Amino acid sequence: MKYNFKNRRTAMPRVAVSLKGKNPAEIRSKSIVLSDHHVDMIEWRADTIEADIERGIERFDIDYMLEVLEGLESLDVPVIFTLRTSNEGGFFDMTSKYDEVMKEIIMRGKPDFVDIEIETAKDAEGLIKLAHERGIDVIGSYHNFKETPSTEILLRKMVKMEEMGSDIVKVACIPNEFSDVHRMTELPNRYHEKCPDRNVVCISMGEMGLATRFYGERNKQCMTYASCDEAFAPGQVSYLYMREFLDQIHEMLAVDPMTHNIYICGFMGAGKTTTAKVLSDRIHLPVFEMDEILESKFHLPISDYFDSYGEERFRREESELLKLISESGPAIVSCGGGITLNEDNIEIMRETGSVVVLEATPETIRERTKDTFTRPLLKQSANNEDDLELFLPSNSLMFEKEMISRIEKMMKRREASYKKAGNLFIQTDEKTPDVVAYEIIGIKKN
């Protein structure tokens, strides 16, 4: 079954659901379920098939794989044939025979699409030409599980795939920091400057790059990938979950084509992280947890970064990350407690979304943070101007009163900046994250 991406009724990307199975019967059974869910496309990951010991059939026997393709032919769903080697996160362990197997599948199997890894195939251009002669469309792909190369390197690879004749150009790379994710979100637009109106897929793998799987409509990607049951690639999510996200983002972009993020701010312990996760489940937008992203970049807990480099340097890093995230939405952004201390940060958040400020009493904050030793502003540090010398036993009543007093002083210093930033203020004392999330759902951008 052919699919013309240029004739899509909406700008929403198609979703290819990756399908695995031990044998033809299992694959067929799973594919029928997917067909009943009206999925857009099925990607059969042929490298996941297992040998049929009873029938004496080896894993990658051509006739065995053709048996699977024949079983998928009756479905009214386009089928992608993909054979990933271990270098691309797959299970095909006969890399030297990659071209041979792909050629046989193209000649005899005739799936709707074949995915050809350009740096695995010895003659990628020849395989693409052969596929076109057989009426099969080609996804030219490049995977990198170690890093995200520079934009210039990726563009060269993409143009090369285009020149070889690929109908869809795909790149998928592991990010080492959030700037890699941001570059990947910009990559389709950069590619379209060189090759206008071409079909492209750009994915930043792993949890950090999860949002790139959702934002295909925003940067004109033709498709994205989801899992049937078990994820094949880092960061891959289930089809039904993916569909809900894509529908929600489509509705938001239809109302407001500009980035519309929900920034959740507030003092440490106000409930930002837990609320963001619950809110994500309710409105189907991805979450950017700023502290987690920064810790991944630093390879240090934030408290240790404070100790080593000081608060001023941390705030610079935080502001740089906020700028990148603001351009990558729509999303839910769980911000650090001091994000509003910088006037430029407030301006960015107000221009690109709605700001929710979660509030709680000093007593509640102390209760929520008392067993946590990674809060940088609640521990002693030579680089922390808010530091108080506390020589009291940690289990004493006086110690608790001193800590509550300290929290209250820090909250008062930030009170004005929170008021200036916020569109919505929610008191979280004695409220569950579910209750807080439902209060946020009704917010409107000022």
Residue-wise DSSP of 209-268: TGGGGT-TTTTT-SEEEEESSS-SSTT--BHHHHHHHHHHHHHHHHH--S--EEEEEEST
Confidence at 329, pLDDT banded by 50, 70, 90:
confident
What is the dotted CATH code of the domain comprising 261-441?
A: 3.40.50.300
Is the predicted pLDDT of residue 446 greater than 50, yes or no?
no
The most confident of 29-33, 67-71, 230-234, 345-349, by mean pLDDT:
345-349
Is the predicted pLDDT of residue 315 greater than 50, yes or no?
yes
Confidence at 89, pLDDT banded by 50, 70, 90:
confident
CA distance 260 to 423: 13
> What was the pLDDT predicted at 162?
95
Q: Are strands 41-45 and 332-334 parallel, antiparallel or unpaired?
A: unpaired
Confidence at 345, pLDDT banded by 50, 70, 90:
very high
Exposed, middle or buried by CB within 10 Å (0-12, 13-18, 19+), for 357?
buried
> What was the pLDDT predicted at 392?
41
Q: Which residue ranges make up each domain of the chain?
A: 5-251, 261-441
Average pLDDT, the chain: 86
CA distance 403 to 386: 12
Note the pLDDT tens digit of each residue in 382-432. 444 443 333 344 556 777 888 888 889 988 999 999 999 999 999 999 888
Residue-wise DSSP of 297-324: HHTS-HHHHHHHH-HHHHHHHHHHHHHH
Mean pLDDT, residues 125-154 taken together? 96
Is the predicted pLDDT of residue 442 greater than 80, yes or no?
no
> What was the pLDDT predicted at 393?
46
Is the predicted pLDDT of residue 98 greater than 90, yes or no?
yes
> What was the pLDDT predicted at 400?
80
Mean pLDDT, residues 317-344 taken together? 91
H helices of 4-113, in order, are: 24-36, 62-72, 98-108
Fold of 5-251: TIM Barrel (3.20.20)
Note the pLDDT tens digit of each residue in 165-206. 999 999 999 999 999 999 999 999 999 998 888 999 999 998
The most confident of 86-95, 106-115, 119-128, by mean pLDDT:
119-128
> What was the pLDDT predicted at 385?
42
